[in-house]
Every structure is written in C-alpha cells, then in structure tokens.
A and B are shown apart, each in its own frame.
Chain A
Amino acid sequence: MAADQKSPVAPLLEVIDLKTHFPIRTGVFSRVSGHVYAVDGVSINLREGETLGLVGESGSGKSTLGKSIMRLVEPTSGEIKISGVAITGLNKRDMFVHRRQVQMVFQDPYSSLNPRIPVGKVVAEALHIHGIASGVAADEMVRELFRRVGLRAAQTRNYANEFSGGQRQRVGIARALALNPKLIIADEPVSALDVSVQAQVINLFMDLQQELGLSYLFIAHDLAVVAQVCHRIAVMYLGKIIEVANRDELFKAPQHPYTQALLASIPIPNPEIKPAADRVLQGDIPSPSDPPKGCRFHTRCPLAETRCRTEEPPFKEGSPGHWVACHLH
C-alpha cells in the first residue's frame, strides 16, 4: 500500500535470528534424546500493507515459524518485534494485547471451528474476550464481518458443518478480522479448497488488503498461488530462509539452486510446454533433527562443491532486496 510514502518507521513485523527447537523424547523416562531444529535462525521483516510469501518443502518449518510469531509455540531463542515492540519477553497479559494485532488463518477450515457452536457465536466470543464488544453490539459487528467476507448475515446462526470448505475458510477469515489485526498469518489458507473456490478466497484476501491495508505472512506450497498474492517471497529449507526477493525478481532470477529446482518443478498448465528433463532433484529431504553440516542443501544440490559440505554459507544481499545463502553467489 502506501508504505513508501511514510517516514522510515520500524517494520510491522521483525523477526531476528529466531530459533524454535522441539525436544525429541524417547524411552520410559522421556529423556530428551535430541532436537528437531524446526526453525533454526530465521530473520525476516514485513512492512505495513505488504504480503510476504513463505514457501518451502513440507517439514521445512513454515508453520512452526508462523506459530512462533503467534507464540502458539514458544521460540527457543531470538527476537520477534511487532511495530518495534519485542514480544518474545511479554507476559501473559501484555501478550493478550499483542494477540489482537496478529491473527492466524489456518489451513484446515474443518478442524479449526467448534462444531457445536453457531459460527457467529465463535466470532462474537473473540470480540467479547478482548473487550471489543458484547451482546447486541457484538452480534451486529459479526454480521458486518460476515458481509465483508462475502457471507450472508443470516449465516452467522449456522453451524460449521453447514458450510462448504470455501465458506468455512471465509468464516475463519472473518474470525481473524474481528479483532482488527494489522497482520494476518495465513497458513496454507487455500490448500484444502477446490480450485474453483480457491480463486474466490484468494480474491477475498487481496480485496481485504486493498480495503484495510492489512499485512500478510502467506504460507503456501503452491508457488502459483504465492505469486498471485505476494509482494515478496521467502524460501525456506530445513529450518532456514535460504532466499528472499521481490516476487518478480525471484521468479525471473532465482539464485539459490533449491529455489531454482523448486521453480523448475512446478507443472505448467500448458501441454505445449514440455518439462525440462534435467529439472528433477535427486534425493530426499534430510532429517530436521540431524541437518547436514555446511549448507543444508548440499546433499541434494547438483552444484555442491567441497566447501558447501563443511562451511555454512552466509545470508548475503547480492542485489538490493535480494538475499541468498549460497557459496556460489
């Protein structure tokens, strides 16, 4: 949006060297026998009105990063700032206030709604808990929110199972919007939807950004979806961000061999274009509890050299705004 007209203030979201490790417990005494390095030193920032896409293989740590920012999981170390305020050290009460600014929309519109309560009530409750509105005033706000996300006001009385997948995702978005957040973390918000309904929800995300100046951290594995909605894109691999760039820059000039492989792997819906024969990566993703030494991608990288196996590549800004962690750049 109009971010460029403002004086250089602190970014809306700033994540600095964030690590979220999960202990692996084994045996009868549940001894900690190792760690899953789900997020392992991630730094990102997000401006107001901006959408940052987060892509990467399954298990690379995208959801964990999103949940860490929400503090639905506790980060191990590092810092998270919202509008310049560090939230990593906040106590429960201050955290409660912060919650309003950052909301999450989940992948699965089925399991994220209580089936026994009318969906309108679910949203009204959030308003009540945060002391925004209650009673009749809350109900009216909920109806307004429903209209805003393309549902009918009367549908506030329906139960979750009476909605289609796309409608449930709209309810999820209405609930996220209820607290008037600045940032929405959308974790695979359209992956569970049909292609025809997916377009409806993607358009809704884009319209809401226009109207409300929202920022999104948009997690998805479908790169075409990400390309549609994001201004900038960050690529994650095994707990680390390995490349960040503007959308067009990333698609035109991907630098990291993993990003290149990722882009080359996307099937293009045009039978006249034949896939390049050499695009297929060899090998599986290594275990996040035992990541490879050096560059984490070296076990699958067609270009890996000796130092890639021993030395971790620094995250460098090769051209303005285009960061990559690769020895070859």
Chain B
Amino acid sequence: MDAMAAVLELKNLQTQFATRDGIVRAVDGVSYAVGQGETLGVVGESGCGKSVSSLSILRLIPDPPGKIVGGSVLFAGEDLTRVSEERIRAVRGNEISMIFQEPMTSLNPMMTIGKQISEPLTRHLGLSKKQAADRAQEMLALVQIPDTRKWLSGYPHEMSGGMRQRVMIAIALACDPKVLIADEPTTALDVTIQAQILQLIRELQEKMGTAVIMVTHDLGVIAEVADRVVVMYAGRKIEEASVKKLFARPRHPYTRGLMTAIPRLDKITNGDGLSKRLTEIPGVVPPLYDLPAGCAFADRCGYATDQCRIEKPVFEKKSPNHWAACWQELPG
C-alpha cells in the first residue's frame, strides 16, 4: 500500500483484554491501510484478532475488559483512537460503517426496517423524516429487497437470513461511507445468496468508490473480491500481498498451510483429487494470553528452526508488493 493514498490506516494497533487467564493480546501491533475504491481482504484462523482489529477502528471494544493500549487509527487527518467520544460517534455508521458477522443480533428486533435505515440519516445527515424515509426505500431497492414499501414497516424476524444481511448492507451504505468494514458478511449465508451479496458490494463500491475491508476466513471469497490481502495469526499480521501474489506464492508457512488444507473444487473437478487426503496443519493456535517468545506458528510449522522458537520474525519485504513475517526462505 505505497502507491495509493490511504483512506484509513492502522498503525501498530494493540488491543488487549484483561481476563482471568491473563492479558489476551488480541491485536498485537497490527498495521494495514486501505485506499479509495480498494478492497482489502483480512484472513486468518478463528480468534486471531480479525474482528477485534476492525471493531477497534470504531472503538467498539467493550471497555472493560478490552482496551486499545497502543498504536493509531488514521482517518481523514485524525487519529480515531484519540478523538472525542462525540467525534467517533459521528464517524460511526456515517463516514465509516460496518456490517457485522451476525445479522440477527445486530439489527434491532423491536424497530421497523424502515426506521433502522432512516434513523442514522436523520441523525448524521440531518435529513427530514420524509427525506430519510424516501432514502430508506431507495436503499432497500438498491439491495434488491422486493416490495420495498411493505418492508419499510416490516420487522427483522419476518425476513430470511439473506434479506437481513442485505438490510444490514443498506444501513451501512445509506450514508455513503468512505470506508465499509464487512466482517464475515456472508458466512451465515448460502453460496447462492453469498454470490448475490458479494456482487452487490462490488457494484456499490464501483458506483461510490468506497474503500472496503473484507474480513473472512473463506479464501474463495478473498480470491474473488480482494485487491490486497492481509493474513493474521495469533494477533499479528504475518503476511501481506496483492491477491494474485498471495495465491501464486504464499510466503508464510501458515498461509501455505491454509491454501493446501482447503478442499479445492477446481482441483477435484479436474479429476486429480479423487478423495485424496487433505494436507493438515497439525496442532492448534496457542492461547493468546500465553504466546511463545518466538514465532507463534513455530509449534505447527514444518520449517521451524531454533531461531523461530526464540526470536519473533520481522515483518519484511520478500518481493515487490509482498511482505511476510518468517525467518525461513520457503522453496518456490
């Protein structure tokens, strides 16, 4: 991310939780940036800090037990970790909006769909009730909800999962945000509905130049929508590259493991994958309150040496547009 001007930039962000087991370093010095019209993919194992890092951007971490203890989030010349409570509220759902992992829990069950879309519009943009209602209907049409008039007065529980997720997108996009953070926006959905929603986000992004941060564990989704990818493991960024470079030659053994562990339909249908065993990544992620001194992946890594166990690898440039945190030079 050198060439393009960043709309949003995380610099060495650190977010921790105080738990009974100790300090959980959920986000342990993560940096990434996203430019206008760009889609940044964020992937990694469950619990590696993807959601916490995106929630930290908007200061949505429950405090206590959570706290942003270091680093900065630069947006429009400001550090969002330091701005006033009032300012961050004005940014939320307006300049930066977010689609959450679980559509049902993030919609208000007691409020009509129409109200949920129009409320931020009256609050942030100062639209009149009538203007906001019109805009809400427009947004519903944009996300391809049929019968928009009827649904304005409908409630979330009356909708299917796919429809609810589209309402979330309508809410997230109603204020024309500069940045859209989509945290597993399609994980709970079927592939046919997922395809609809990914296409929708893509179209809206093209129309409005929104910068998109797409958090997902699905490498298929990443390959399809991301321009650039950040791979996280145990609270850290361990690899970053353009999407093509990442898939062509992953530089971190964890990323490699991910790529070979997923069943690949394209390989199977080529007739060369007749129920072959998948390549496993042995073991599990270490607990975040008790991370090893060296590389957090060393225990599961076939390339690990003593150096890896003792010394944290430096995140360094491996080739143009490609960085990784690994002491080893993996074979091509």
Contact = CB atoms under 8 A, between A and B. Distances in A.
A195 B216 CA distance: 11
Interface in B276-298: 277-282, 284
Q: Give the bracket for the number of chain B residues in contact with chain A.
A: 35 or more
A179 interface: no
A195 B264 CA distance: 12
Nearest to B202: A275
B244 interface: yes
Nearest to B283: A196
Given A196-B257, A248-B271, A261-B192, A284 B280 contact: no
A203 B196 CA distance: 32
A285 B191 contact: no
Interface string A164-208: 111100000000000000000000000000111111101100110
Interface in A261-305: 261-262, 264-273, 275, 279-285
Interface stretch (A112-120, A130-138, A221-229): A221-229
A281 B196 contact: yes
B161 interface: yes
Nearest to B196: A280
A26 B153 CA distance: 22
B220 A271 contact: no
A196 B198 CA distance: 24
A82 B259 CA distance: 40
A58 B199 contact: no
B45 interface: yes
Contact of A271 (B218, B244, B282): B244
B221 interface: yes
Which of A166, A197, A203 has the largest count of B CB atoms less than 10 A from its CB?
Answer: A197
Nearest to A164: B284
A194 B163 CA distance: 26
A166 B300 CA distance: 15
B192 A202 contact: no
Contact of A251 (B257, B262, B269): B269
Given A164-B284, A196-B281, A281-B195, A271 B263 contact: no
B327 interface: no
Interface string A206-231: 11000000000000011111011100
B311 interface: no
Nearest to B222: A269
Interface string B191-206: 1111110110000000
User: Which of A59, A164, A195, A202 has the most C-beta atoms of chain B within 10 angstroms of its own C-beta?
Assistant: A195
A57 interface: yes
Contact of A266 (B191, B275, B279): B191
B113 interface: no
A252 interface: yes
A202 B220 CA distance: 19
A285 B269 CA distance: 28
Given A203-B280, A206-B277, A285-B160, A269 B269 contact: no
Contact of A262 (B163, B192, B198, B266): B192
B22 to A, nearest CB: 17
Contact of B278 (A202, A222, A261): A202
A280 B224 CA distance: 14
Contacts of B271: 248
B265 interface: yes
Nearest to A190: B263
A57 B279 contact: no
A268 B264 CA distance: 8
Interface in B138-166: 144, 146, 160-163
B277 A224 contact: no
Nearest to B159: A284
B244 A221 contact: no
Contacts of A247: 268
A264 B243 CA distance: 21
Interface string B233-267: 00000000001100100000000011101111110
B316 interface: no
B212 to A, nearest CB: 16
Interface in A225-250: 225, 227-229, 247-248
Contacts of B144: 282
Interface string B42-72: 0001100000000000000000000000000
B217 interface: yes
Contacts of A200: 280-282
B223 A199 contact: no
A268 B220 CA distance: 5
Contact of A269 (B191, B196, B199, B219): B219
Given A197-B284, A267-B223, A281 B265 contact: no
B277 A203 contact: yes
B263 A224 contact: yes
B217 A265 contact: no
Nearest to B254: A196
A131 B222 CA distance: 51
Contact of A223 (B195, B198, B265): B265
B96 to A, nearest CB: 26
Given A251-B268, A270-B266, A265 B195 contact: yes
B223 A271 contact: yes
A318 to B, nearest CB: 20
A206 to B, nearest CB: 6
Given A194-B46, A280-B199, A227 B265 contact: yes
A199 B280 contact: yes
B262 A195 contact: yes
Contacts of A261: 192
A187 B163 CA distance: 25
Interface of A: 57-59, 164-167, 194-200, 202-203, 206-207, 221-225, 227-229, 247-248, 251-252, 261-262, 264-273, 275, 279-285
17 contacts: A57-B193, A194-B46, A198-B261, A206-B277, A223-B265, A224-B263, A248-B271, A265-B191, A265-B194, A266-B191, A267-B195, A267-B220, A267-B223, A269-B262, A272-B244, A284-B146, A284-B193
